[in-house]
Structure 1
Amino acid sequence: MRFWFSPASEVPIYRQLVTQVVLAILSGDLSPGDRLPSTRELARRFSIHPNTVSAGYRELEREGWTEYRHGSGVYVKNNAVPPSTPEQILDQHIAGFFRAVRELNLPSGEVRHRVAQWLASPPPDHFLLIDPDPEVREILLAEIGEFAKFPVSGASLEDCANPETILAAIPLCRPSQANAVRAVLPAGVELITLQIRSARAWLDSWLPSLKGRRLIGVASRWPDFVEIARTVLEAAGVESDLLVLRNATRPRWVRGLDQTAAIICDARTAATGKLPQGPRIFVFPFLADAARAELSRFC
């Protein structure tokens, strides 16, 4: 096992030893029954006092991580209890991070520097939906705003050239825009790619009730929404002359929708309050349930 010790740190050397051994056990770098280096070996290798190493080993034994075998040394104890508390699970993830770092053979100073940069950055306090299409952006913002407890705002790709735009933000994007968005974000910034709902699966749940010679309206400010809905509906067997297609950016776009049996629209169009009250309104949720669940965990 590889150890790092920093005499300049405010954390005592013995505590640095304890922390690294615990993380190694949690990550699997050390297994039950593995023997730790002797007190004399560690003291000589890192030029630290043997009493400091002994203090660390005693602490590990008190905490139940190791056991001392007389005449043989210090061994990792077989506790066989998986992490269960949030703190233990967090320690396991931290341990996995350090294991990955060791596999990269990065100098410890560079690792500390990068970690310090992350810790020094302000904690995220809002989502930032990044999309080049302003209409799609507004639709998704309206949808996310209905269920997310975390504030959300929108930005274009050009907006992200300003570092202030992504400060304290968790960027979001559609799958089709992931490469373009990553290209404008600084290295290391977390990006959540939103899973989009299957339009066909969503339609299958209610379309049979509307089959027959009944008009179906489609309305949205996003032209692609109207075209995609038209394509899917016709593929599902709805005749083209039964579709009333409306671009909500145009004047008098609601004309004729009151004659339909149902209207398919997006969250933003539904929120305008301009849709007629007679037809059934079906708001297509762009975000899949998995994406909604992921965003709902932030608060």
Structure 2
Amino acid sequence: MQLWLAHGTEVSLREQLVTQVILGILCSDLRPGQRLPSTRELARRFRLHPNTVSAGYRQLERERWVEFRRGSGVYVRDTKSDVPLSPALALDQLIANLFRSARRLGAPLSTVRSRLRQWLELQPPDHFLLIEPDEELRRIVAAEMQQAVTLPVRSCSLNDGHLLEALEGAIPAVLPSKARIVRQALPAEAELLTLRVRSVPSSLTGWLPAPSGALVGIASRWPDFLRLARTMLIAAGFHPDGLVFRDARKPNWQRGLKQTAAVVCDSVSAAELPKTSRAVVFPLLSESSLAELRRYEEFIRSPLAPSM
């Protein structure tokens, strides 16, 4: 059995061992009934701790890829495991088959790597990437984006050490207040979608004029939402004494909200409210921004029309 185990990477040695044994079985490089190297032999060959090898073999046994035979060693089971492959392992299998086919063709590794790079550069983006330093604001805006599109929405901080890596295959997006500093942090050729924020009057339309004596809750994990909502509602005519504030980051924050006529909240906190509470969600993103996200997605998913 040929193995490649790299020390000092973010993928543990045990995971490398387990994955390569499974791929060997799936690709028939390891045959049913074939004996695997002993724990001591693998540990010596790859400078591993015996416990690492032993833990890998035990995982393979639990997942029904191998079996232990008392006094004889570790063997590939006669029947392949019926445990469904994880998406990552299924992808690894496809990649392993690609390299195996390339070796049969006699293609040098440098050529395979070059061709793969060309194909990756030709692929359209497959997700949106929200870049926002504020963790709670990032969570809310990403949730609103995900409600508008079917492509995955991921998010990261501007100070994330893996920002350039996160840009791979992404359509980066940013709120207007961070557009300039994010633009400076991105490669010159990178596209950047600037999202627009919903206007305050449009958010308040359904609540004007303010009902007298109404007890209204305000809930959010984002502190600025609580401050902005307070200012907006008081300006709209709500009495300060009739506003009940809840920081959704704190334990039991929903307590007391059942007595309110409604709870003004962001889209994330709305999902965590008691079912008996009336949630009035104040979206942060404008309808025009949500429509633009959908247009981006439609363009990516639709093949280009052939030229006449």
The within-5 A match list for 1:58-77 is none
Determine helix, strand or coil for the equivalent of 1:171.
strand
Determine helix, strand or coil for the equivalent of 1:146.
helix
Tell me the CA shift for residue 160 of structure 1. 6.0
Query: What amino acid sits opposite 2:268 in the alignment?
Result: R
Q: What TM-score do you get using the length of structure 1 for normalisation?
A: 0.57
Q: Is the 8 Å Cα contact of residues 218 and 245 (structure 1) preserved in structure 2?
A: yes
Alignment correspondent of 1:152: 153
Q: Distance in 2 between matches of 1:281 and 1:178?
A: 31
Q: Distance in 2 between matches of 1:162 and 1:141?
A: 17
Determine helix, strand or coil for the equivalent of 2:160.
helix
Larger Rg: 1
* Structure 2 unaligned blocks of 5 or more: 1-117, 302-308
Which digits, 9 at most, give the CA deviation of each residue in 1:170-199, with x for residues without a partner?
Answer: 100110110121121111211011011012
Tell me the CA shift for residue 121 of structure 1. 5.5
Query: What amino acid sits opposite 1:296 in the alignment?
Result: R
Determine helix, strand or coil for the equivalent of 1:183.
helix
Q: Does 1:232 align with 2:248?
A: no
Tell me the CA shift for residue 142 of structure 1. 1.2
The within-5 A match list for 1:1-299 is 120=121, 122-159=123-160, 162-208=163-209, 211-272=211-272, 275-297=273-295, 298=297, 299=301
Q: Is the 8 Å Cα contact of residues 258 and 277 (structure 1) preserved in structure 2?
A: no
Tell me the CA shift for residue 146 of structure 1. 1.3
Tell me the CA shift for residue 162 of structure 1. 4.1
Determine helix, strand or coil for the equivalent of 1:159.
coil
Query: What amino acid sits opposite 2:228 in the alignment?
Result: I
Q: Is the 8 Å Cα contact of residues 270 and 283 (structure 1) preserved in structure 2?
A: yes
Q: Distance in 1 between matches of 2:153 and 2:125?
A: 11
Q: Is the 8 Å Cα contact of residues 160 and 184 (structure 1) preserved in structure 2?
A: no
Tell me the CA shift for residue 156 of structure 1. 0.6
Q: Distance in 1 between matches of 2:163 and 2:192?
A: 17
Identity of aligned residues (%): 50
Query: What amino acid sits opposite 1:284 in the alignment?
Result: F
Which digits, 9 at most, give the CA deviation of each residue in 1:245-267, with x for residues without a partner?
Answer: 11000122112211110111111
Q: Is the 8 Å Cα contact of residues 264 and 282 (structure 2) preserved in structure 1?
A: yes
Q: Distance in 2 between matches of 1:276 and 1:231?
A: 25
Tell me the CA shift for residue 295 of structure 1. 0.5
Determine helix, strand or coil for the equivalent of 1:234.
helix
Determine helix, strand or coil for the equivalent of 1:158.
coil
- Judging changes above 3 Å, is the alpha-carbon distance between structure 1 residues 182 and 161 closer, same or farther for their aligned structure 2 residues? farther
Query: What amino acid sits opposite 1:232 in the alignment?
Result: M
- Judging changes above 3 Å, is the alpha-carbon distance between structure 1 residues 204 and 125 closer, same or farther for their aligned structure 2 residues? same
Tell me the CA shift for residue 211 of structure 1. 1.0
Tell me the CA shift for residue 122 of structure 1. 4.0
* Structure 1 unaligned blocks of 5 or more: 1-116
Q: How many residues align?
A: 180
Q: Distance in 1 between matches of 2:163 and 2:293?
A: 25
Determine helix, strand or coil for the equivalent of 1:205.
helix
Q: Distance in 2 between matches of 1:193 and 1:285?
A: 17
Q: What TM-score do you get using the length of structure 2 for normalisation?
A: 0.55
Query: What amino acid sits opposite 1:221 in the alignment?
Result: R
Runs of 4+ displaced beyond 3 Å = 119-122
